[in-house]
Structure 1
Amino acid sequence: MACTTPPSVEAPTDRPTPGDPTPLPQYSPTRILATWASAALPMAAMAWIVAPLLAHGFAGPTALPRALILALTAGLFWQFVVVLFLVRREQGSLRWSVLKEALWLQAPRRPKGGRRGGWIWLVVVPLIIGLAAKEFLPTLPTPAARDMGLFLQSATGQTFLSSNWGWLAIILALQILNTVLGEELLFRGLLLPRMQGVFGRWDWAANGVLFALYHLHVPWVIPQTLLDSFVVAYPSKRYRSALIGIVVHSAQSLYFSILVVALVLR
């Protein structure tokens, strides 16, 4: 009996076609929660344990606000360290060419065609407006001693910041860590690209929920922050760019920083 050799079947491959982004490893549910906890729990500890203890070392009515600024800056710097550590362990390198792929630090990518940059950057304009409009929605009561906006409006806060260049530098570092090197880098750069394996097409929604629940250090903003799923997480996923979240979130920080600079210059 003659033997015929069956036609060869090419094994499926996950290699991207030219122009497609390089696939990234997907996290398990446990690893997703562990990464979330590595950011949320230290920030909560900084806000509710470290800051009150640190405030005892300062005098006057600005003691707690100063302690909170220092403690939260340290917590956000920790997030930056976590991101670098996890990328280094995963990719084996921290070269910029590796980081921009691993953390989606690239221009927005058009869903059809795959081209990056150009007019697609205009998507950040309505997103910035949407994030600003969110500030007018009702919120839960904020403890007066922990309300940074109230602190800046108070005579005590304005007197403290007047010509205080040292604290201006610290506050600017806080803002940069908050939106560029900390929260957005961890949630939209590290976590979001690695959540599809568990959550599928709803990874952006799960990412938004985790981001809201991360705010244990300021729990009164959690309900409002859930809207960030639509303003930041979904666009970042759709256009495969953490830079969208960084730019949109940074617009808020830029406004706050301008207010602080104005107070220092008074």
Structure 2
Amino acid sequence: MTHGDLLAPAPTPPAEPADPPQYGARRIAAVWALAALPMAVLSWLVTPVLAAALDGPAAGARALLACMTVGLVWQGVLVLVLVRRETGTFRWPAVRDALWLNRPRSPRTGRVGGRLWWVLVPAALVFAAEQFLPAIPTPTDRDLGGFLGSPEGQSFLAGNWRWFAVVLVLAVFNTVLGEELLFRGILLPRMRGVFGRADWVANGVLFACYHLHMPWAIPTALLDVFALSWPSRRFRSAWFGIVVHSLQSVVIVGMTVALVLR
């Protein structure tokens, strides 16, 4: 190391991306409704009609899986539409900044990435703790985990790669391309203009109330305020919500693979 190296200024962190345009209350409510209401209609109105029209085994489960997959894919399409309208492009740098898909950044030091990723550990523990809290019982015809563990589910999925593909698409759009990009990528960065520093709390409450298609999950989903919304806002990175929420998808896909391979 030379004398000049010792006197050289420390490297400055990369500039923080500017905040995206802020949404008003009506627009926040409209985006929420465009996610929540189609899921509710598909769950409570379309699923029973489709199940009655299907022949063969597990008609109810097939109808519910298909309808929920359609609703989650729609959310991914909605994200693309909103990003395109705002940025006018699908170029990765613009999409990355618009959806907070950058590495996490410390609000105090400007540090990017590195040890900040360790925040995923307590966030994941909070998310996992939801499974052990007292909860409203899930109706048996709406319980995916129960279906996967039932003789009917095991028989239906054994060797059934077609429906494994449906479960995989549902999982990817549930926790990566659908719900998380919409709530932590689109809404959260654009809610500070209305909710101020409580935007992450409002985001978590909106996300919990979005579950009209499975209202028994709303009370425990309020904990997602701390597991998904807070770290995403604190470090300006939707990756926290995506990674933590995807733990659920990994479990479901793993269970489904095990059944298909039987």
Opposite residue 249 of structure 2, the aligned amino acid is S
Matched, 1:119 2:115: yes
Opposite residue 63 of structure 1, the aligned amino acid is A
Q: Secondary structure at the match of 1:135?
A: helix
Q: State the distance in 2 between where 1:127 and 1:113 align.
A: 21
Match of residue 83 from structure 2 = 87
Q: State the distance in 1 between where 2:124 and 2:248 align.
A: 8
Match of residue 181 from structure 1 = 177
- For 1:116-167, what per-residue CA distance to the aligned partner results, in whole angstroms no more than 9, with x for missing partners? 2111111112211221121011111211111111111110000000111110
Match of residue 240 from structure 1 = 236
Match of residue 38 from structure 2 = 42
Q: State the distance in 1 between where 2:182 and 2:210 align.
A: 11
- For 1:155-198, what per-residue CA distance to the aligned partner results, in whole angstroms no more than 9, with x for missing partners? 00000001111100110110000000000000000000000000
- Which moves more between the two structures, 139-148 or 221-230? 139-148
Percent sequence identity over aligned pairs: 58
Matched, 1:67 2:79: no
Match of 1:210 among 183, 206, 209: 206
Greater Cα radius of gyration, structure 1 or 2: 1
Matched, 1:154 2:150: yes
Q: State the distance in 2 between where 1:172 and 1:42 align.
A: 20
> Is there any run of 5+ residues in structure 1 with no aligned partner, and where?
1-16
Opposite residue 182 of structure 2, the aligned amino acid is L
Match of 2:163 among 151, 164, 167: 167
Query: How many residues align structurally?
Result: 250
Match of residue 255 from structure 1 = 251
Match of 1:200 among 177, 196, 200: 196
Deviation at 1:60, TM superposition (A): 4.3
Match of residue 4 from structure 2 = none
- TM-score computed with the length of structure 1 as normaliser: 0.91
Instruction: Summarize the Cα distance change of 1:128–1:70 in structure 2 as closer, same or farther, 3 Å threshold.
Output: same
Opposite residue 116 of structure 2, the aligned amino acid is I
Q: Secondary structure at the match of 1:105?
A: coil
Two-structure CA RMSD over aligned residues (Å)? 1.2
Match of residue 4 from structure 1 = none
- TM-score computed with the length of structure 2 as normaliser: 0.93
Deviation at 1:61, TM superposition (A): 5.0
Q: Secondary structure at the match of 1:56?
A: helix
- For 1:208-228, what per-residue CA distance to the aligned partner results, in whole angstroms no more than 9, with x for missing partners? 010000000000000000110
Match of residue 138 from structure 1 = 134
